[in-house]
Chain A
Amino acid sequence: MSIYQLTVNKKKHRVDVDSDTPLLWVIRDVIGYTGTKFGCGMGLCGACTVLLNGSPIRSCSTPVSTLKATDKITTIEGLSEKATHPVQEAWVEAQVPQCGYCQSGQILAASALLASNPNPSDEDIDTAMAGNICRCGTYTRMRQAIHSAAKKIQNTKKS
């Protein structure tokens, strides 16, 4: 076991875990943010997606030892205050989630897409979201919600 310093959702955490422990289990079982989910353990499904300095990564395949104390890790709990991120709002308006298990990862992937590409095309969405599986099949609504979140963000900037 070793001590690691992590910055998760703007808070500093000291954790005492094995160096090969994936970030996923540190976030969920040590720090206690359970919004990040275990789905496949191989980086294939995207349920464990978190943001590392703004970019989506698969926390199930990211050993804690590869992270620096200055790295900014964002989980669904840290995306916004009171679920007010435009993607979260668009998700509620479009009634996207069904079982909801993959949705933390989907929302983080979508928020990263919009941060780098404020007006994504359908093809951009396909590429950015291809790593996140939804077995309930909410893909069509997610696409609509991403487009509508993009509009929200643009309107906020204009006003």
Chain B
Amino acid sequence: MKTSTSRRDFLRMSTTSAFVLALGFSSESKGKLLKKVTTTGVQINPYININEAGKVTLFNPRPDMGQGTYQILPMLLAEELDIPLDQVEIQMTDGSDRFGSQLSGGSSSVRTRWIPLRTAGATVREMLVQAAANRWKISMNDCSTKDGFVINKISQAKLSYGELVEEASHLPVPAKPKLKSFAEFTQLGKPSMRPDVPAKVDGTAIFGMDVQLPGMLYASILHSPTIYGKVQSYDATKAMAVKGVRFVLKTERVFFHGPYSDSGGFDQKLRGKAEAIAVVSESYWSALKAKKLIQVSWNALGFGETATEQYFNQAKAAALHEGNEYKDAKVGDFAKALQLSDYKVQGTYQTPFMSHAPMEPCNATVFVQGDQVEVWAPIQGPDGLVNDLATYLGVKRENIKINVTFMGGAFGRKAVFDFVMQAANLSKQVNAPVKVIWTREDDIQQGPYRPGMISAMQGGLDKDGNVLAFEHRLNGASIMASVFKADMRNNPDPWAGEGINLEDSPYAFPARRNSFNWIDPQMPVLWWRSVYASTNVFAQESFMDELAAEGEKDPLDLRLHLLRDAPKFVSVLNKLAEISDYRAKRKQGVSIGIAIARSFASIVAHAIVVEKQNTGGVKIKHVYSVIDCGFPLNPDNIKAQVESNIVYGLSAAVCNQITRTHGKTEQSNFHEYTVLRQGEIPASTIYVMPSQDEPGGVGEPGLPPIAPALCNAIFLATGKRVRTLPFDLSSI
């Protein structure tokens, strides 16, 4: 969205009437949940509605999956509007064009809306002040605002926003409203309570899973075991006999954005969509039971013998060759610098395919009525869903209404909408609202997954241990190819270099080269929390310690030296050394390992203390973290997100992975795809750097440096270098 005011952004609407899902309201009995909410009031711009009683409704364009956008985006509006967030009602935007991009992803919500939403708030505030000044016949300078009132500084009279809004809406929209300085903030910049928390401790928060509509049917899906596949034939006789079952139908699953043909784009033959069987029933339990009784003969379309082992072997073979080079990471002449080095160091790192496994499995409720479509779903981007549904169903974008619910976790999974399209496909077929619920097995076995990657690292040192040359060859799947059907055979996937380009990784190597070799994963892959930064940084920061060991340097000193021209990185490392007592003498078998990375415009460094166990293996004693994410908007939530990334990242390092053989995923539920539980989590100390810079991302940057910090600590404690994730802490 542009920061300047445009006509389109400031449509004046005297009343709006909306059929909305009232998030956070009680839903004790079936059918009550969906209520007709009529927002009366004056909508001076798309994000702010004020009614004459003074009630303020703020429209939030970034869905919440636990990262805190439910609070922080409306707070950008409320701060400039000068109204406390606890006095407003928050509604999620519905995907319509006037709200611009509404995708929660790439830790971008605050970064991209930081100026536009504050400008929207400040604009409305100035119009309210102008209206009051006109009424009092005084200058705007003699007015101030506080807690939803304009105050006459001369007479101390007050007028509420509700009393002024109608008048204000007829005034010219100010071209350049004045934004507050950081020092003027009253809500942003200090620890604050998130408004969604109370509804999440008493069961009233509404997730997609909780949506209930009158006349709604439930659907369970029988997917192709090879993910891509077609239905050859099926027998639904026994399934149809289960009480409650209304239909057993062929449906499909799309990968991911249109066009939805079988063979759109490069090498996507047969991968545009897969066929599936759906049981549509009066209860979800009967749908689940009936699903197990269906006999299907599948056509695996040639995917029946694919395996992750084969993929990694291909990637390792590709790693022997230089890939397509990244221009944003190129320094000097790597080949020449390596040739002139006194010592050469190599290391090949492997990171696995991962499932997002959010606590709430994918689900969606859709009602297609002729050319009208309404959706209730836990999704990361309602505007993208409008586009996809319009293409898929051939209906007009303005006929599609999206009700965004809370997401029970997402981590990237709910940024694509295959499960919503299934519900749309079924609703259209059965002429009723349909709620599709994936099982945990669907979630873990059907992907999309984080790409597994092979990172081949090469470095050259002079005889004093100084790094002369540094190379990172990425070998693996392209998310851009999977999601947008892009051809990556001769191009470096531009997203795949994140976390290790020169902006994110300003190590002063005299020569440097990053490159990418595309390997076909033969499965759908997708963004997973911190995306390629999670795999790239593991390899890069581990290899930094390998170079330090070879060159006989302290790992912190080596980094401080190579980052000498990047003062923010140096400050983060120095603070980390301070809070972790990095330079303290530790007893035999106890070591501290570090790693640092910038991703999504924020810098995070972790230090992990491990202790070698007499019984074998190592134990994590403590995690220390420092984050510089610019001006900290809610420092408590920033800490919470770092805590979250530590756990999510450690689970990926020491617990789980997705492996596939004979075209099928070997893991199915949490007994095979294990995650860390209470009692397996190290204590942590987290420091949020004070800053006056523009805010950076918060939801993901804590993840990339966690695995390498751990493996660096393990190397120092045991002499063993872990180059393949996941690994078992108890058998190191």
Contact = CB atoms under 8 A, between A and B. Distances in A.
A95 to B, nearest CB: 6
B467 to A, nearest CB: 34
Given A47-B359, A137-B643, A99 B679 contact: no
A18 B285 contact: yes
A77 B203 contact: yes
A37 B284 CA distance: 13
A137 B202 contact: no
A150 to B, nearest CB: 16
Interface in A115-153: 123, 125-127, 129-143
Contact of A136 (B30, B66, B209): B66
Given A103-B200, A140-B683, A130 B27 contact: no
Contacts of A131: 677
Nearest to A130: B677
Interface in A77-91: 77, 79-80, 82-83, 88, 91
Nearest to B637: A95
A132 B678 contact: yes
A3 interface: no
B437 to A, nearest CB: 7
B669 A36 contact: no
Nearest to A98: B66
Contacts of B681: 137, 139-140
9 contacts: A29-B212, A34-B210, A41-B669, A97-B200, A98-B66, A98-B68, A103-B201, A135-B675, A137-B681
B201 A92 contact: yes
Interface string A22-63: 100100111111111111111011010000000000000000
A25 B439 CA distance: 14
Nearest to A1: B243
A95 B411 CA distance: 20
A114 B675 CA distance: 25
A124 to B, nearest CB: 10
Nearest to B205: A100
A107 interface: yes
A45 B288 CA distance: 19
A6 to B, nearest CB: 15
Contacts of A45: 359, 440, 670
A137 B201 CA distance: 16
A104 B243 CA distance: 31
A21 interface: yes
Contacts of B285: 17-18, 20-22, 25
B283 A29 contact: yes
Contacts of A34: 27, 33, 203, 206, 209-210, 212
A143 B203 contact: no
Interface stretch (B388-396, B402-410, B582-590): B402-410
B643 A77 contact: no
B434 to A, nearest CB: 14
B296 interface: no
B361 A38 contact: yes
Interface in B42-86: 64-68
B358 interface: yes
Contacts of B243: 1, 18
Given A42-B440, A133-B670, A135-B357, A29 B284 contact: yes
Nearest to B200: A100
A82 B675 CA distance: 33
A104 B359 contact: no
Nearest to A25: B285
A93 B299 CA distance: 54
B644 A75 contact: no
A121 to B, nearest CB: 12
A82 B679 CA distance: 30
Interface of B: 27-30, 32-33, 64-68, 193-194, 196-207, 209-210, 212, 218, 243, 283-286, 288-289, 357-361, 406-411, 437, 439-440, 636-637, 640-641, 643-648, 669-671, 675-679, 681, 683-684
A44 B669 contact: yes
A40 B678 contact: no
A102 interface: yes
B670 A75 contact: no
Contacts of A4: none
Contacts, number: 205
Given A33-B203, A107-B201, A137-B647, A100 B361 contact: no
A133 B675 contact: yes
Interface residues of A, number: 65
A28 B684 CA distance: 37
Nearest to B191: A95
Contacts of A75: 203
Interface of A: 1, 17-18, 20-22, 25, 28-42, 44-45, 47, 75-77, 79-80, 82-83, 88, 91-92, 95-104, 107, 123, 125-127, 129-143
Given A99-B410, A133-B359, 4 more contacts: A39-B359, A77-B204, A99-B406, A100-B66
Contacts of A31: 29
B359 A88 contact: no
B201 A97 contact: yes
A100 B677 contact: no
Contact of A40 (B197, B207, B212, B440): B440
A39 B28 contact: no
A42 B669 contact: yes
A25 B196 contact: no
A38 to B, nearest CB: 6
A49 B359 CA distance: 13
A123 B361 CA distance: 30
A116 to B, nearest CB: 17
Q: Sorted from nearest, which 8 A-B pairs have the closest CB atoms?
A: A35-B203, A137-B647, A101-B408, A126-B679, A99-B66, A100-B200, A98-B66, A76-B203
A83 B679 contact: no
A101 B677 contact: no
Given A33-B203, A83-B202, A135-B675, A100 B440 contact: no
A130 B437 CA distance: 26
Nearest to B682: A140
A11 B194 CA distance: 32
A133 B640 contact: no
B206 A140 contact: no
Nearest to B645: A137
A104 B359 CA distance: 12
B202 A32 contact: no
Given A18-B285, A45-B670, A140 B643 contact: yes
Contacts of B32: 32
Contacts of B210: 28, 34
A82 B209 CA distance: 23
B698 to A, nearest CB: 12
Contacts of A76: 201-203
B249 to A, nearest CB: 21
A130 B678 contact: yes
A102 B644 CA distance: 14
B358 A99 contact: yes
A158 to B, nearest CB: 25
Contacts of A38: 209, 361, 437
A25 B283 contact: yes
B359 A44 contact: no
A4 B678 CA distance: 36
Given A98-B640, A126-B678, A140-B643, A41 B439 contact: yes
A83 B204 CA distance: 10
A126 B682 CA distance: 12
Nearest to B288: A41
Nearest to A131: B677
Contacts of A97: 66, 196-197, 200-201
Contacts of A140: 643, 681, 683-684
